[in-house]
Amino acid sequence: MTPLQSTFMVSSSGKDSWPNHDLPEVVVVGRSNVGKSSFINALTNRKKLAYVGNTPGKTQLLNFFDIDGNWVLVDVPGYGYAKLSKAQLQKLGVMMDEYFNERENIACVVALVDARHAPSQDDLDMIDYFKQTGRRVLVAATKVDKVPKTKRPKALKVISQALQIPVKSIFPVSSTEKTGFEAIYQAIQETLNQDQKEEQAV
Ligand code: GTP
Ligand code: MG
């Protein structure tokens, strides 16, 4: 099972234009060009819901997508892209900090890392940051189609060791081959359900 209906809601450069709703938000983070926007398209089974580019730094705003009227996926700019001007980078930084610090709807972070490489220092810092803020973090390894099948277990093990999370908690995905999305979708659903149960228990 994957989402049935996904709809673009709004692009936002800050607080004033965040959508006003009570739905949980699932935000997809990762290095620029790691495949965040492609991940969103493959997960929702849509070709052009989120804008995909060949050059890093394509996504420059927060893009909100309503999923089945139940939750909201958020596509954000990538980190680690140095070719933007200092002023542009600073603007993105402020926009992201504001969102992560002040947005109450964030239920879960899906952190993407490239299946071909050991996580970069930026990846490690980013994931640590989210763990420290107490956010639930799911990890997906993108572009797994570029790793020969026989080398995939090793590649996932390297990522698992670097991030210090079990191999079974890393979801390999390929947006071009559309593989791995049912499993990560299931994990997102479980995370959202856990949140709901906790709220009911309060
Ligand atoms: P920014 O918005 O710049 O931060 O990038 P992004 O993380 O949203 O990446 P995007 O989805 O735009 O993809 C970047 C490039 O990687 C594009 O050329 C995609 O076609 C390619 N790509 C993304 N996912 C995959 C994948 O699973 N396999 C392969 N082979 N290529 C992929
Ligand atoms: Mg993008």
Beta strand extents in the chain (DSSP E only):
6-12, 25-30, 62-67, 71-75, 106-114, 137-142, 170-172
Q: pLDDT tens across 124-155, in order?
A: 998 988 888 888 999 999 999 999 999 999 99
* Predicted local confidence at residue 84, as pLDDT: 77
Ligand 1 centroid vs 37 CA: distance in angstroms?
A: 7
Ligand 2 centroid vs 40 CA: distance in angstroms?
A: 9
If pLDDT is split at 50, 70 and 90, which confidence band does 6 have? Answer: very high
Q: pLDDT tens across 68-116, in order?
A: 999 999 999 888 776 778 888 888 889 999 999 999 999 999 999 999 9
Q: pLDDT tens across 11-41, in order?
A: 999 999 999 999 999 999 999 899 999 999 9
Element housing 134 (H / E) = none
* Predicted local confidence at residue 55, as pLDDT: 76
From 37, 38, 65, 184, the mutation candidate for ligand 1 (largest count of ligand atoms within 8 A of CB) is 38
Are 73 and 28 contacting, i.e. CB atoms less than 8 angstroms apart? yes
The larger pLDDT score, comparing residue 107 to residue 198, is at 107
Binding pocket residue ranges, ligand 1, CB within 6 Å: 30, 32-38, 52-54, 56-59, 77-78, 142-143, 145-146, 174-176
The larger pLDDT score, comparing residue 3 to residue 174, is at 174
* pLDDT beyond 90 at 182: yes
SS3 content of the chain, % helix, strand, coil (to 5): 40, 25, 35
* Predicted local confidence at residue 114, as pLDDT: 98
From 27, 39, 44, 52, the mutation candidate for ligand 1 (largest count of ligand atoms within 8 A of CB) is 52
* Predicted local confidence at residue 202, as pLDDT: 64
* Predicted local confidence at residue 58, as pLDDT: 78
Ligand 2 centroid vs 2 CA: distance in angstroms?
A: 21
41 Cα nearest atom in ligand 1: 11
Strand partners, 142: 114
How far apart are the C-alpha atoms of 50 and 116, rounded to whole Å?
23
Q: In what order do the strands lie in the sheet with 170-172?
A: 6-12, 62-67, 71-75, 25-30, 106-114, 137-142, 170-172
Residue type, 175: S
